[in-house]
Chain A
Amino acid sequence: MSRSTNPRRVLVIEDELMVAMGLEMLLTDSGCAVVGPHGRFDRAMEAARNEAVDAALIDVNLRGSKIYPIADVLAERGIPFAFLTGYEKETLPERFAHELLLSKPCGPQDLVAAVARMCERSLVRT
């Protein structure tokens, strides 16, 4: 099954509905299929473990819980992801220092470009 004929699947983890909806709209408009969005940790973790996705956008703080275990799962699965957060990059644990970080609020072009790049990497690896 060739990926190029199917929309790229992007997992969105964001606990703020308004923001999640915005992302959903933006990604759908750019031709992606959105998985989620998930605003709760358990659901988000389940999706990260099981969903076949090309890339993921993840909020750092999910209703008081840090997203890092989920990021670890994604990294382990080789799924490119980007943090979407209002926090500074320095607050991330050392092991994520080289991961992509998109600062909230993020311009639509930047976001779409970032997702496209992640999908490219994903494609190369697959």
Chain B
Amino acid sequence: MRSSRFPIVAIGASAGGVEALTALFRGLPPRPHAAFVIITHLAPHRESLLADILVRHTDMPVAEAHNDQAIEEGHVYLIPPDAVMTVADEHLILNERGGERNPVDIFLTSFALAVGDRAVAVILSGSGTDGAIGVKAVREAEGFTLAQGGSGSQPGHHGMPDAAIATGFVDCILPIDALAERIAAYIDTFEKQPFGARGDGGKATEEIEEARTALCAILRERVGHDFSRYKPNTFLRRVERRMQVRRIADLRGYVAFVKDDPEEATFLFRDLLIGVTSFFRDPEAFDCLARLVIPEIFAGKGADDWVRVWIPGCATGEEVYSVAILLREHMRTMAPQPHVQVFATDVDENALAVARAGHYPAKLLERMSPDRLERYFVREGRSFTIAKEVREICLFSCHSIVRDPPFLNLDLISCRNLLIYFKTELQNQVLPLFHYALRPGGFLFLGISEHVSQNADLFAPLDKKHRIFRRRDQPGRPAVFPVVAQTLTGRRATQPQAKPVSGTEVVRRAETVMLDRFAPAYVIVDDDWNLVRYSARTGKYLEPPAGVPTRNLLAMARRGLQLALRSAMHEVVKTGSATRREGVRVECETGVQTIDLTIEPIPDKGGDHFWLIVFADVGAVRGRDEGVAADWPADQEQAFRQIEQELHQTRERLQISTEEYETAVEELKSANEELLSLNEELQSTNEELETSKEELQSVNEELHTVNVELSAKIDELDRANSDLKNLFASTRIATILLDRTLIIRSFTPAASGIFRLIQTDCGRPLADIATFLDYAGLPEDLKSVLSSMNSIERQLTSRNGEAHYLMRLLPYWNSDRRIDGVIVTFIDVTDMIHVGQQKALVAELNHRVKNVLAVVTSMAAQLARRSTSVDEFNEGFLSRIRGLAQTHDILARHEWSDVALDELFAAELSAFVGESGRAALVGPKVHLRPRATTTLGMVIHELATNAVKYGALSDDNGRVSVAWALRLDAEPPMLEITWREIGGPPVKTPERKGFGTELIERSLDFELGGTARIDYAREGLVVTLAIPAIHAVHTEGGTNEQIHEPQESARH
């Protein structure tokens, strides 16, 4: 059931990100059961090489995402340049980037909503604050968040991880190696979640319920908050999340852990309270604020008045802007608008940077009413920036409510979901501080799960449900110097208010009553004349001046008191001891009061100085004139009048000066205003520059990585090139590379043995180069290879016939699979051809020998049939073998070419030609073809053998005459030979035809297409042989007249 629920890890990175990402993927298992989405700040219109870089560190496919792509397990998706990516229904949605500066926030906010508790957000190195809001969103959706940091290897740029960490919503802050390990472990345990099916019935439920009760009890005890009425499912989901963070697999183990670890309860508490941070979180509470509080803040305020609001712990600014919008909305209904100042503070500069930018992903503003969205925001691509109108009333500064003095005279403090992070002790310090900071009747706005119960004497609930309180005016309560008191007395703020009244307390209260009733009025001021404490009944001496509320004593002093105060104070500061001014006349509302003024320094401990100023009345209030008349004698009247006159003139001059001063102040204010807005603009320009810098940084990093790659590739190329060079130099396969126009691109040294090539011939057409080859068809063949794309193979011989080559013409394919020329190779096959010839020779020899053997075998078989005795067989067989051998000898002597006819006869009749004259050979000079030579040789052997055995040569008297002639007029032309025996024993026609006779008769016809006629004439045998003249060559007269083209080649 869980197998399809794989975690999705979204990684945001920018400057320094390439390094971090490669390290991260190197640390992960090659195929984790999760999907990864990487969001970086890419420069638009530039192809990213990140995929190529990352693919070497993981087995998962890495690719740029495309629109509407389903997220699948085991894949890594990259944001394409010039796009912002969001998630909807497990699919990645791409949109035009359109100047969006925070793509990580954009992605993470939609990702958190779409994926929920399967979301894992990782923020790696990068400058700026992108990702902080996104991390918050992921945590709020119960996802798991991590950031690069911690000890060990630091991120290259801290901005992004630090801003994310500053939100307080990052679960794990780890160096990159540990980060990879942690993510892998999370993915691993994701499948084995402890509760299986949450809320299912059965035994498991009891165990879960038990654990829940135990945890609620611990929380109630440790943080004083009762969660037992929280929805169990929500509660357990948060617990489960904490278990994953703490890597505890079973619920009981976690309960034990919470018991033992004092911190974990706080973490769990915070996790449980995480809601959705957004504008107008708890809309009803904000409605209530707008209805009850804001009109009252503005009531009775004119153009010169100030409305001051403080939002401590403003984090990423949503609350600030929500309040500011409400203020603006109310201001729209007012004709003279008072000045409004919203102080937004946080201890973390990074969080403030996010808040100052006022730049939020659209997803966060989904529940904002369209009306407000349009009026108070400016759309920028997929995100919104707060409008100037709202932004300009907000002042963001780094400030700690624990450490730094508070803002004062506030109308409203909105401090939502900050106190939950404070322990009770600290809460009891902070609430009196708020009380002090608020002007009388000011308001306090807290988060839904916060309360003021232990400080109920300071704040009265206005709307209890929505946690809106009004400051109680508590003059009787000595909770005055909140922060100062802390430093002066140390223990005061920690005293619980609800403790029973002790004895000393009664005395103190009595003292207070006495001071109020019987002591003269006094005030306490600090170094800057600011009032820090009034006693009762100071109204006679002090009055709030017109204009901006102030605590300055001099500004508040009534007429007549100012001068005395100033000089006395001057003296006290100088001498360090108390001083006194008597008979100071103060103009109060009912008349003139004469007082004694005492200023005394209060002993200090921390370096802060305070002064006690006591106003002691002398006598009662008198009328203005009465007072003068009573106190001074009449004769001095004139002098007084004169002084009065001068005073009056002085006052007028002062009035003029004051007016001039105020004009100057006005001018300064407007100058300041201008400077503020200029600053705003500079700020946004600066942000844009940051973004550009960010992008440049990423580009630079990628380029650097690519550069390293390229260097490696160049090295490889160098090596390959040198390999090729060596191969070229050493190969004995002559190779010539030609381009498309058949110009020589390069060639191997061996090629110069075939073409007359020298090194400078590169760039010349091959056709121009002289060759040793007998190969005229080269240009046609080359063109044919180019046009047909087929290779050609030919066996070629050099002109002198000594060298043989196997030539191949192959198309040259370039990397685009297009023909870019021709490769010509020559393999020297001279040796192979010689070997081949030898083999053929041996085979032919074998064949011929076999043929000869067949002839001999056949002859033997036939003679054996015809012979009557072994002797007869022997004689006939051996004689014929000799005859065959003789003819072969003659042919061999003539290298198996033509043989002269008379030579053939002379060989058989050698004993009878020449001196003896018993054999005469008459005829023209005629040569016979080898085939005819063989046949006639056999016939002549039979005739001669027969003549010697039985015929004319068998005794000493007979002789033989051989005559031949060419009958060229016959059709076909014939060579005619006549064998005539003369003077031998009488001839008898044989009774049966002998083997020799059969041979003579058949062979001429069979072998040569000729005829043989045998005439057994009594006076001597006459044999006439006729063979077609094509078997002979007439060579009479020294010229070799070829009689006819021979049709057959010799064979045996």
Chain A interface residues (CB < 8 Å from chain B)? 15-23, 25-26, 37, 39-40, 61, 63-64, 86-88, 103-106, 108
Contacts and interface: CB of A to CB of B under 8 A. Distances in A.
Contacts of B1009: 40
Contacts of A23: 858
Interface in B852-887: 853-859, 861-862, 865
Interface stretch (B511-519, B631-639, B842-850, B912-920): B842-850
A86 B852 CA distance: 10
Contact of B854 (A26, A105, A108): A105
Contacts of A104: 850-851, 853-854
B1002 interface: yes
B845 to A, nearest CB: 10
A40 B1047 CA distance: 12
Contacts of A105: 850, 853-854, 856-858
Contacts of B1051: 61, 63-64
Contacts of A64: 1048-1049, 1051
Contacts of B862: 18, 21-22, 25
Contacts of B1048: 63-64
Given A25-B865, A108-B861, A19 B855 contact: yes
14 contacts: A17-B999, A17-B1006, A17-B1007, A18-B862, A18-B999, A21-B862, A25-B865, A37-B1006, A63-B1048, A64-B1051, A86-B849, A87-B843, A104-B854, A105-B857
A103 B843 CA distance: 14
A21 B998 CA distance: 10
Q: Which 4 A-B pairs have the closest CB atoms?
A: A22-B858, A86-B850, A105-B854, A104-B854
Interface size class of B (residues with CB under 8 A): 20 to 34
A23 to B, nearest CB: 7
Contacts, number: 68
Given A17-B999, A40-B1009, A86-B854, A26 B847 contact: no
A21 B1048 CA distance: 22
Given A25-B861, A25-B865, A26-B861, A16 B850 contact: no
A107 to B, nearest CB: 9
Given A22-B858, A40-B1009, A16 B999 contact: no
Contacts of B1006: 17, 20, 37, 39
Contact of A22 (B848, B849, B857, B931): B857
A104 B849 CA distance: 10
Contacts of A15: 1007
A19 B1007 contact: no
Nearest to B1004: A17
A16 B847 contact: no
B858 A19 contact: yes
Nearest to A18: B855
Given A22-B859, A23-B858, A105-B856, 13 more contacts: A15-B1007, A17-B1007, A21-B1002, A39-B1007, A61-B1051, A64-B1051, A86-B854, A103-B850, A104-B850, A104-B854, A105-B853, A105-B858, A108-B861
B854 A19 contact: yes
B1003 interface: yes
Contacts of B856: 105
B994 to A, nearest CB: 13
B101 to A, nearest CB: 78
A108 B860 CA distance: 12
A113 to B, nearest CB: 16
Most B CB contacts (10 A, CB to CB) among A18, A39, A104, A105 go to A18
A103 to B, nearest CB: 7
A70 B935 CA distance: 26
Contacts of B999: 17-18
A16 B1002 CA distance: 11
B1027 to A, nearest CB: 14
Nearest to A103: B850
Contacts of A40: 1009
Interface string B985-1027: 0000000000000110011001101000000000000000000
A84 to B, nearest CB: 9
Contacts of A19: 851, 854-855, 858
B1002 A87 contact: no
B847 A17 contact: no
A24 to B, nearest CB: 9
B226 to A, nearest CB: 99
A88 B847 CA distance: 9
A39 B998 CA distance: 17
A86 B847 CA distance: 5
A23 B1049 CA distance: 25
Contacts of B846: 86
Contacts of A25: 861-862, 865
Contacts of B843: 87-88
A85 B895 CA distance: 25
Most A CB contacts (10 A, CB to CB) among B847, B853, B854 go to B854
B859 A18 contact: yes
B847 A87 contact: yes
Interface string B149-179: 0000000000000000000000000000000
Interface in B44-58: none
A103 B856 CA distance: 15
Contacts of B850: 86, 103-105
Contacts of A61: 1051
A113 B1036 CA distance: 54
B1003 A16 contact: no
Nearest to A88: B843
B574 to A, nearest CB: 131
A106 B857 CA distance: 9
B324 to A, nearest CB: 98
Contacts of B859: 18, 22
A39 B1002 CA distance: 12
B866 to A, nearest CB: 10
B732 to A, nearest CB: 32
B855 A16 contact: yes
A25 B995 CA distance: 12
Nearest to B848: A86
A88 B998 CA distance: 32
Contacts of A86: 846-851, 854
Nearest to A106: B854
Contact of A16 (B849, B854, B998): B854
Contact of A17 (B848, B865, B1002, B1049): B1002
A18 B861 CA distance: 10
Contacts of B1003: 17
A12 B847 CA distance: 20
B1 to A, nearest CB: 67
A88 B846 CA distance: 10
Nearest to B1002: A17
A106 B1009 CA distance: 27
Nearest to A16: B855
Nearest to B855: A18
B1007 A22 contact: no
A86 B1002 CA distance: 24
A64 B1007 CA distance: 13
B861 to A, nearest CB: 5
